[in-house]
Each structure stands twice: as structure tokens, then as C-alpha cells.
Amino acid sequence: MSASHRRVVIADDEPSLRKVISSLLRREGYEVLEARDGEEALSLLSSEVAVLISDLRMPKLDGMQLFRRAIAEYPDLKVILFTAYGRITESVEAVKLGAFDFVEKGTDNEHILQAVRKAVASYELDQRAPRRPVGLIPPQLGRYGLVGTAPALQKVFSLIDKVADTPSTVLIIGESGTGKELVARALHEHSGRKNESFIRINCAAIPRTLMESELFGYDKGAFTGAVSAKPGRFELADRGTLFLDEIGELAVEMQVKLLRVLQESEFERVGGIRTLRVDVRVIAATNRDLVKEAAAGNFREELYYRLNVVPIQLPPLRERVADIPLLVSHFLTRFNERLRKSVSGLTDEAMAALLRYPFPGNIRELENVIERTVLLAEGPVIEARDLPPNVAQLSSAPPPPPLRSQALPLGSSSRPLATSLKDIVRQETERVEREMIQRALSDTQGNVTQAAKQLGISRKSLQIKMKELKLREGD
Ligand SMILES: Nc1ncnc2c1ncn2[C@@H]1O[C@H](COP(=O)(O)OP(=O)(O)OP(=O)(O)O)[C@@H](O)[C@H]1O
Ligand SMILES: [Mg+2]
């Protein structure tokens, strides 16, 4: 836990007692805030405060009142009450009502320290546990088998929503390893064609001379060796989806033939005389800039326009660094299962290295890194030195400024297990909740009641969430 989780507020009207205890706690590494009375204590509380130590008898707001208001507002707060001789029953009552513990005045320092340590540990445990859902805000951590919450990816999701179940041609553009094939399959799976074939052809892998017969098939005797007829991919994809992968690699003369099929939905097999009609939904993908290729004469402009009816642009991983922890979590789970391992997380340093590495091979490269690392990992936690040297190398540099404001607690401590799967999911959930709440608030000009309605949660829940996420005015 970061130091902020060790913040303690001590409320007592007796300065000397305050001093003694606060210096005791500071020596232990806690951040201590002092309050002279109940009201001041209340003003010092925030969701960052782990423990409140309070005297029972104080001016303004007494200890019992303070305790009740404090935990109503900060349910995770641990309250320790200082009890004078003769007031134990009151403290026992308070514990029944949710105070964490009480300590008798005049008790020795070690006893006080122990109570605080226990309270902090309990607070930290609460923080690590998956959040009790206050509302019904779903942790939309990805869709269509694509993990991530980056805005560029949200755009991809909403495009898939819109065009999956249409006959429109889709052109998926993105660097190698960004998930183009995943998107193509998602489009097929969410269309009315999902029970028909999804046929992929990799234009980069098929020799030029064979391309035509691969796409359109051939009839018996079409060429030497054509001892029987063979259907092409267009025929195989009839009623289904044809995925033309790496379309930028298609030779120009084939581009012309393809264009005709796309326009007329008919073609002939090589050496065939019959004209065949098919009902095929075409999806193409490329990692090239086809506009440039067209300008250079390598790609037919008409074909480009015919394919580019609905372009879907996939962002490179380096432009959605914030999704790395989620993807790591996703792949850890996958490879733990596949490789029968039980890697539970990464150290801060290891995660920092991954966040810093530019991933030219994008998600595929990250996937390979995690697979290899899980396979070779010796301990339960991945450390920076377990990563491939080219990735880990970058971590020896001084840490850069945080990549994301409410990102993981990175690059700091010697704590071994900072980034567990749970942490990642919790933090991402928090981030998505924050975004959804902010959007709802801006849609409703800050009207909490309306925003709550839009989010489908109660006004009270929204207020609690806003407080937790520090979204209230003035926070
Ligand atoms: N958003 C994502 N969430 C989870 N896994 C992903 C995501 N994007 C890609 N992957 C995984 O990364 C790998 C590469 O994805 P895919 O093959 O779809 O990329 P591509 O763009 O077609 O790459 P290439 O150009 O190299 O063919 C796959 O194993 C895929 O499952
Ligand atoms: Mg691909």
C-alpha cells in the first residue's frame, strides 16, 4: 500500500497526549494529522485516512458523535477510541457499533502501536478486496474478446456494434499485432452469418501465381495438375464472411479481378465457363497506408474506395498504454491456465518496465512476452529481471512521470506484490466508473439526481461513489 494508506488522524483535546502519540506513530512511518476537537477531526478525514484515534471526551463533537459521523461517511475508516478509566462500557458499545478497537488511557506505547498496526492492516485488506459494488456500474473492461478501455478502443466497439450485422464491407487498419483478426472474427460472430463459414485468406502468404485459383477456384483441366475441380475461397464463404487479410499485399492484377467480384458478386472459376454468384460479406485488413500505396500506384484507388466503406482503425498499443495492466492481467490468467502455473502478479518495477516499453509488435508481442515470462517464472511474482532483456532494460532508467494520473502505484517501493490481478481489476474498474460518472455528470450539467438516474443507481450510491473517487466539487 502506498504511504497514503497509512494516514492516521488523532483527535484529543489534550496537546501533550496528542504529541506523545503522534510522535510515536510518526516514528513508525505513519502520516499523522492532529485535531483538537471532534469537528476539526471530521474536517481532516478523507477516504485516504486509514485510522482515526479519538478521545471520547472532547469539546464540540464528542468521541461517540465523531465516531458515528466518521464511519457513516467513511465506511472503511478504522476508529480506535481512547477510553478513560470508568468509561469502558461506552467503548464496548462503540465497538459493537463498528468501532475497530478501544485503548485505555495510560496503557503502554506498544499496546497503542499494536492497535494501530492491526487497524491499518485491516484497512489495507479492505482496500485490496474487490470493491463492494455501490451501484451497478459494470466494469466494462473490454468487449468482443478485445480487452481494453481506451477511448480509441471504445470507438472500435461502437463501430462493431453498428456494422457487425450489416452486409457492408469493412476495412480494418492497424499495425501488426493490434487485433485486426480478432475484430474481423467479432464482426462475423455478431452478424446473422455467424452460423455460416468465416473464411480467411492471407494475401501475403499465397504466391502470386496461385492467388486467382485460391480466391475463385478452378475447374477440372484448367491447368496442368488440375485433375479435379476445386472451389475457391469466395465459394467457400458463400452466405458467410470472407476475410481478406493483408490486402495491401495483393498484386495489382488481382486487385482488378477482386474489384469486379466486389461490385458484381459474380465470377468464374479459373478455366471455368459458368458464372457463379455468391453472397459473401467481405472484411479486409491491412497494416499499410492504402492511400499512400494508391498514390504510389501500388494499390488500385477504386478498390480502396470499394473496401473502405466502413474503416475501423485499431490503435497501436503504445497509444493505449493505460490498457497494458488489463492486458497483462488477461494474459496472465490465460497462460496460468494453459501452462498450469500460478503466477499471481508483477512487481511495480516489472509493470513499470512493461509500461515504458514501446511494443513495436503491439499486443501480439505483449502476449508473447507474458507467455514466455509465465513459462520461465520461478517465483509466484514476475520481477523485472524475469522479463526479456530488451523489455527489462528500459526499466533501469529513472522512472518517468506517471503515465496516468490514477494509475497503478508504480516504480516505487520494494513491496514484492504490488500489482496483483485483483489490484489491476479494481483500479481499472475505478477508472471506468470515474469516466462513466464524469460523463453522466457532464450530460446532466452536474445534476446528481439526474446523473444517478442515467447511471441506474440511487442518488445516495452515486454520492458515495463520487466521494470515493473524489469527484465532488472542491475535491
Ligand atoms: N484487445 C485485445 N485483447 C486481447 N487480446 C488481443 C487484443 N488485441 C489483440 N489480441 C491478441 O493479440 C494477438 C494478435 O492479434 P491479431 O492476430 O488479431 O492481430 P493482427 O492485427 O491481425 O496482427 P497481424 O498484423 O500480425 O496479423 C492475438 O493473439 C490476439 O488474440
Ligand atoms: Mg492478422
**What is the full DSSP assignment across 305-329?**
HHHTTEEEEPPPGGG-GGGHHHHHH
Distance 378 CA to ligand 1 centre (A): 27
In the numeric block, the cell 503491439 is attached to 362
> Ligand 1 site: residues with CB under 6 angstroms?
146-148, 174, 176-182, 287, 327, 330, 363-364, 367
Q: Which atom of ligand 1 is nearest to the CA of 330?
A: 4
DSSP readout, 260-309? HHHHHSEEE-BT--SEEE---EEEEEESS-HHHHHHTTSS-HHHHHHHTT
Question: By alpha-carbon position, which residue is closest to atom 18 of ligand 1?
Answer: 179
Contact between 267 and 260 (Cβ < 8 Å): yes
Distance 169 CA to ligand 2 centre (A): 17
Q: Is domain 3-128 in CATH 3.40.50.2300, yes or no?
A: yes
Distance 287 CA to ligand 2 centre (A): 9
H helix and E strand count, the chain: 19, 19
Q: For residue 180, give the ligand nearest its CA.
A: 1
> DSSP character for 456?
T
Distance 127 CA to ligand 1 centre (A): 33
**Pocket-testing residue among 144, 154, 178, 321, ligand 1, by greatest number of atoms within 8 A of Cβ:** 178
Measured distance CA(112)–CA(338) in Å, rounded: 48
Q: For residue 370, give the ligand nearest its CA.
A: 1
Task: Using alpha carbons, select from 60, 68, 73, 81 the residue that is nearest to residue 10.
Answer: 81
Write down the pLDDT at residue 296. Answer: 95
Q: For residue 149, give the ligand nearest its CA.
A: 1
Distance 389 CA to ligand 2 centre (A): 26
Measured distance CA(356)–CA(403) in Å, rounded: 9
Contact between 363 and 327 (Cβ < 8 Å): yes
Q: What CATH number was assigned to the domain covering residues 151-314?
A: 3.40.50.300
Measured distance CA(201)–CA(183) in Å, rounded: 15
**Pocket-testing residue among 181, 185, 372, ligand 1, by greatest number of atoms within 8 A of Cβ:** 181
Is 194 exposed, middle or buried, given 0-12, 13-18 or 19+ CB atoms closer than 10 A? middle
Q: Which atom of ligand 1 is nearest to the CA of 367?
A: 12
**Would you kindly state where each structural domain of the chain is located, as residue ranges?**
3-128, 151-314, 319-475
Bridge partners (DSSP) listed for residue 218: 230, 270
Question: By alpha-carbon position, which residue is closest to atom 25 of ligand 1?
Answer: 176
Distance 158 CA to ligand 2 centre (A): 21
Whether pTM exceeds 0.85: no
Distance 297 CA to ligand 1 centre (A): 29
Q: Which atom of ligand 1 is nearest to the CA of 179?
A: 18
Write down the pLDDT at residue 433. Answer: 80
Q: In what order do the strands lie in the sheet with 170-173?
A: 198-202, 241-245, 281-286, 170-173, 310-313
The domain 319-475 is classified under which CATH number: 3.40.50.2000, 1.10.8.60, 1.20.1440.230, 3.40.309.10? 1.10.8.60
Tell me what percent of the chain is helix, strand and coil, each rounded to the nearest 5: 50, 15, 35
Distance 146 CA to ligand 1 centre (A): 9
Write down the pLDDT at residue 138. Answer: 35
Measured distance CA(180)–CA(316) in Å, rounded: 11
Q: For residue 184, give the ligand nearest its CA.
A: 1
User: One fold for both 151-314 and 319-475?
Assistant: no
Question: What is the SS3 assignment for 47?
Answer: coil
pLDDT by residue for the chain (475 residues), tens only, comes to 444 458 999 999 999 989 999 999 999 899 999 999 999 999 999 888 999 999 988 888 888 889 888 887 888 899 999 887 777 777 777 777 778 888 888 788 888 999 999 898 888 877 775 543 332 233 447 788 899 888 899 999 999 999 999 999 999 999 999 999 999 999 999 999 999 999 999 999 999 889 999 999 999 887 887 788 889 999 999 999 999 999 999 999 999 999 999 999 899 999 998 999 999 999 999 999 999 999 999 999 999 999 999 999 999 999 999 889 889 988 998 898 888 888 888 888 898 899 999 999 999 999 999 999 999 988 889 999 999 999 987 544 444 444 443 333 333 333 444 456 666 667 777 777 888 888 888 888 888 888 888 787 778 888 888 888 888 766 6
| Span 428-474, pLDDT tens digits | 777 778 888 888 888 888 888 888 887 877 788 888 888 888 887 66
